[in-house]
Structure 1
Amino acid sequence: MFSQFKNIDTAFKHIRLFSLFLIVACMVISCFAIYEYYCFYTLKDQRIYILYNGKLLTALASDRKSNLPVELRDHIRTFHQYFFALVPDDKAIKASVTRALYLADESAKKQYDNFQENGYYNNLIAANISQEITVDSIQLDVDRFPYPFRCFATQKLVRSSSTVYRKLISQGVVDDLKNQTDNNPHGFLIRKFELLENRAEQLKQEQP
């Protein structure tokens, strides 16, 4: 009889061990299934469907953080293009600067007022000077917020008799408004904008 009880106790232990193993296996499989579903759901959210020439194309979206340096540099470059690339026309200058001021705060407006008070824009119009700008490089620190930057650019002032090249260096910080608009598609705002350097580098005389 004792031998029979011993066999029953051994069988019960085996059943308990098997049940425990089965429970653990089910939990592992359930966790794996939940993880796989989460990965699939995340990937599905990142997938964008684009209709191009009647064909449905699939693209993957990335989070904004991975594209942050690219977006910041584009915002800074766009601001400088609007603010410094000018033609000798009063309405065109005001329209271009107005677009630039959507991308910056009152510090850029103050710089615009200084130019205006010094007759800078009137001189461009009177001398029929077209002003172009090429952004050479942008130093950016995305580990600090608001994001500080320094922009190095070359200005080209073209008139009928000569072309003047000027070196321009500006700096400021970029704030994240977290709100994009048609006038500010990246949703950033340049603050503490100032010109560190704006000097003539080269004068090229036009051949008669």
Structure 2
Amino acid sequence: MFTQFKNIDTAFRHIKRFSLFVIVGCVLLSGFAIHKSYEQVEKAQNRIHILYNGKVLEAIASDKKSNLEVELRDHIKTFHHYFFSLSPDDRAIKATISKALYLADESAKKQSDNLQESGYYNNIISANISQEIEIDSTRLDINQYPYAFICYATQKLIRSTSTVSRKLVTQGKVRDIKSQTDNNPHGFLIQQWEILVNQDVPLKP
């Protein structure tokens, strides 16, 4: 009789252990299924369909982080283009500088005011100079926020009789302002911006 009770107790422990394994397995399987379901829903939400010329095209949406470095470089390039691409026209200069100032804080406004006070813009107008800029490279540090950068560029001051090239190096930091507008499509703002080097490139003999 005691042997029978012992066998029943052993069988009960086996059943209990087996039931526990089944329950744990069901929980793990349910958790995996829920996780995969959320992944599939997220993927589906990132896919958008565009109707173009009567055809349905599929596109994949991506967040800013996936293209962070590309967007930062373009923001920096756009700012420098507006700030340094100048025509010998007062209204055109004011228009491009105004566009640049939407992309940076008061440090850029201070640089613009210094150029204005020194008569730089007046010299461009009176001498009929067109100024162009080409970004050579941009060094970025995206491992620390706000993102520090150093921009290397070449300026060209074009007169009717000659063209002068200047070496330009600037530095600053970029922060995310969490909103995008028509005037600031990337939603970044350059801060602590300063010009490190702005000097004529010697002519090659």
TM-score, with structure 1 as normaliser: 0.88
Which has the larger displacement, 74-83 or 139-148? 139-148
Paired with 1:202 and 1:50, the residues of 2 have a C-alpha distance of 53
The answer to whether residue 19 in structure 2 is matched with residue 19 in structure 1 is yes
Aligned 8 A contact 1:162 1:203 in 2: no
The answer to whether residue 44 in structure 2 is matched with residue 44 in structure 1 is yes
Q: How many residues align?
A: 204
- Deviating runs (4+, > 3 A) in structure 1? 1-18
Aligned residue identity for 2:21: F
Paired with 1:104 and 1:201, the residues of 2 have a C-alpha distance of 27
Deviation at 1:118, TM superposition (A): 1.4
The answer to whether residue 142 in structure 2 is matched with residue 145 in structure 1 is no
- In structure 1, the gaps of 5 or more residues are none
Q: Secondary structure at the match of 1:136?
A: strand
Paired with 1:145 and 1:21, the residues of 2 have a C-alpha distance of 47
Paired with 1:64 and 1:34, the residues of 2 have a C-alpha distance of 27
- In structure 2, the gaps of 5 or more residues are none
Equivalent position of 1:53 in the other structure: 53
Aligned residue identity for 1:26: C
Equivalent position of 1:111 in the other structure: 111
State the Cα deviation string for residues 57-89 of structure 1 (Å, max 9, x = none): 222223322211111111110000000011111
Identical counterparts, % of pairs: 66
1:35-184 mapped onto 2 (5 Å cutoff): 35-184=35-184
Paired with 1:109 and 1:20, the residues of 2 have a C-alpha distance of 69
- Root-mean-square deviation over aligned CA pairs: 2.0
TM-score, with structure 2 as normaliser: 0.90
Deviation at 1:41, TM superposition (A): 1.9
Deviation at 1:158, TM superposition (A): 1.0
